[in-house]
Structures are given as structure tokens and as C-alpha cells.
Amino acid sequence: MAGQEGSPADRPARVTGDEARRIKREDLGIPGRSKHEKRAAVPVKGRTKAAGTRERTYRFRFHPSPGQADQLVRTFGACRWVYNRGLDLRREGWERHRVSIGYAETCRALTGWRRAEETSWLREVSSTVLQQSLRHLDGAFKRFSREGITDAGWGALLRRLAYKAEWYGRTLVVVDPRYPSTRICSRCQSVEGPTDLSVRVWTCASCGATHDRDGNAAVNLREEGLRLYRLVVGADPGERVAPPLIRAVDLATYGQAV
């Protein structure tokens, strides 16, 4: 991209109007307006307690059947994919074409992804749930300037996950932010994947395995998470009590002990 179109400073601040609509349709592949025409993301409202009321909490444990567990994994995977794909689209729109992509447009793009044959697996997950991912993405864009978006958005997500893990008696493992999950080959462990995040599929130069960027990263993150978990909790069940949160950045002291 660099050199081809000049530095961002050479380009107009923002492309709008008919030209922006053409870029979105032809270059970014966002389907035209239909039922999402006037849709804007409605922020998720916090509940306000009426005066004099007391909050009461209940705790349940969900034991999913194998079929339900399968559906959950599929749903989380699809949410992550849609969030990342929406993020790519919004970034690409701005960095390459100087057009702003809003929530409604990412929803229309989602409709297109669900229709496309190669991403037809998205149809197995409720579109409402997937739109929720795009809403979170939109919130992250609105709250923070371009530079801190991903970090800040994930920071809020991490706090929620940590809270939920504690609530359900589970452990959330946060790997080191520098852990190169997208660059490690999940088959042979060599660190040769592309640094360019726009590359979605790559082939490992060492073992020849072809990887989907996000799928490969997910496998690596699971392995790294399990490694850190065993480091803290021990390899045998019941050896040590699992804490609700394990953060790689806090583990320097543990590292010595194991």
C-alpha cells in the first residue's frame, strides 16, 4: 500500500458523499442499504436501581451438554471472527480510502458475509448475537481515538470476562500482550507468520501448514493459556486452588518456582 497511494497526509482528510458510497460498495464490498437504512447502534443501558430496593444475586452453574458446548464454542468463535472482520473493514475503509464505516454498514457487511458461501458457517449463529459484537466494536470506536481502540476495547472486555470468570468459579487466563499468537505456527511452533494483520491466510515456511490467521491464533492462545494455568495451578487436579484470574504479566515470580 505504501508508495502506491502516498502517505496518509497526502490524501484528503475524509471522503464523503457519492464517492464514499461508491468506495464502500465497490472497494469494500458492503451491500447497499436496505432494511438497515436508518439503524444506529443503541448503547447498552446500565440498570438504575429504584430508591430503597436491594439487589439480590443468584448463582447458577451451567452444565452444557456436548451439543450445547459445541454451539457455545461456535458462537464465541463467530463473535470473535465478526468483531475482527468488522475491525479490519473499518480500519481498511479509513486507512486506505479515508471513508468512515459506521455500525449500520458493518451490519450490512455481516449480511453479506452470512450470504457468502465461504463464510456460510456464520448462518449457524444467531445474527442478533453477531450484531452485538459489531455494537461492541462500534462502542470501542466511539469512545476512543483511533490509536487506542483495540487496547481500550479489549480492556473493557477483559474486565467483564474477569468478573464473569469469578462469578462462575472459573479461571480467566490473560496471556502476555507481546505473545505473538498470530505469528506462531500452531503445528511446528516456528515464529514465521506475517506481521501484517491484513493477511488472513498464510503458509508456514518451515512445515508447509496453511493457516487461517484467527483460527491459528486461537489454537496458540488456548495452548499458551493452558500452559500458564498449569504453571500456577499445577499439573494435577486439586494440587493448588485455581484463582479467578491469572495474568502472564504477574507471573515473573511464579516462573521461578516451577
In the bound state with Zn ion, the residue whose beta carbon lies nearer, of 97 and 211, is: 211
Q: How far is the CB of 216 from Zn ion (least distance, A)?
A: 10
Beta bridge partners of residue 40, listed in sequence order: none
Residues in region 208-227 near Zn ion by CB under 5 A: 209
CB of 190 to Zn ion, least distance (A): 5
Identity of the residue numbered 169: G
Q: Which helix H or strand E contains 201, and what residues bound it?
A: strand 201-203
- Give 180's contacts (C-beta < 8 A, 6+ positions apart): 191, 193
- Using the rule CB under 5 A, is 205 a contact of Zn ion? no
H helical segments located in 60-148? 66-97, 103-115, 127-143
Q: Least Å distance between CB 197 and Zn ion? A: 19
Rounded Cα gap, residues 137 and 132, in angstroms:
9
Closer residue to Zn ion (CB): 16 or 190: 190
In the complex, least distance from residue 222 CB atom to Zn ion, rounded to whole angstroms: 17
CB of 175 to Zn ion, least distance (A): 20
Shortest distance in whole angstroms from residue 185 CB to Zn ion: 3
Strand partners, 212: 201
Figure out which of the listed residues 40, 199, 207, 226 binds Zn ion, where binding follows CB under 5 A: 207
Residue 68 or 206: the one with the smaller Cβ distance to Zn ion is 206
The two beta strands, 210-212 and 245-247, are unpaired
The answer to whether 188 contacts Zn ion (rule: CB under 5 A) is yes
CB of 188 to Zn ion, least distance (A): 3
Does 185 participate in binding Zn ion (rule CB under 5 A)? yes
179 CB contacts (<8 Å, ≥6 apart)?
Answer: 220, 221, 224, 248
H or E segment to which residue 3 belongs: none
CA pair distance 240, 4, nearest whole angstrom = 57
Interface segment toward Zn ion; rule CB under 5 A; list 81-89, 138-146, 163-171, 202-210: 202-210
CB nearer to Zn ion: give 209 or 249: 209
Query: In 3-state terms, the chain is what percent helix, strand and coil (to 5)?
Result: 50, 5, 45
CA distance 247 to 159: 12
Q: For residues 120 and 206, which CB has a smaller minimum distance to Zn ion in the complex?
A: 206
Among 36, 187, 200, 222, the residue binding Zn ion under the rule CB under 5 A is 187
Count residues near Zn ion (CB under 5 A). Answer: 7
Closest CB to Zn ion among 106 and 220?
220
Q: Which three cell numbers stand for residue 1?
A: 500500500
Nearer to Zn ion, 91 or 183 (CB): 183
Contacting residues toward Zn ion, per CB under 5 A: 185, 187-188, 204, 206-207, 209
